[in-house]
Copies of this chain bind each other. A is one copy, B any other.
Amino acid sequence: MVLEVALIDVTDPDAFRAAYAEARDVITAAPGARSVRMTAGVETPTRFVLLVEWDDVAAHEAFRASEAFTRWRGLIGPHFAQPPHVEHFADV
């Protein structure tokens, strides 16, 4: 299992939250996505961190290559201030 940590800076936090509310089901339904958690910055309200537990990096890559990803990104992408910074982590 790997943890996707995505740092997402947005232009309008309220608009992003509304888009995420609509998009959330798309990623939770992705094969290999065990859990999805979106968090909002306390110090920086325009910054969000998305945490997704994937079976493995390949499951995340399969999602990114899927039609579902196009819908997911189509909903939340317009609110990005810049491309998200995405990396994978494994428990120590």
Chain A interfacial positions (CB closer than 8 Å to B): 2-3, 5, 17, 20, 37-44, 47-49, 51, 57, 87-92
Of A5, A17, A39, A90, most B-chain CB atoms within 10 Å: A39
Cα-based distance from A44 to B51 in the complex (angstroms):
17
CA distance in complex: A16, B23 (Å): 38
A43 touches B87 (CB 8 A): yes
Protomer copies: 2
**A49 to B88 alpha-carbon distance, docked (Å):** 10
Q: Which of B17, B38, B39, B88 contacts A41 (CB 8 A)?
A: B88
**Which B residues lie within 8 Å of A37 (CB)?**
91
Closest to A4 in B: B42
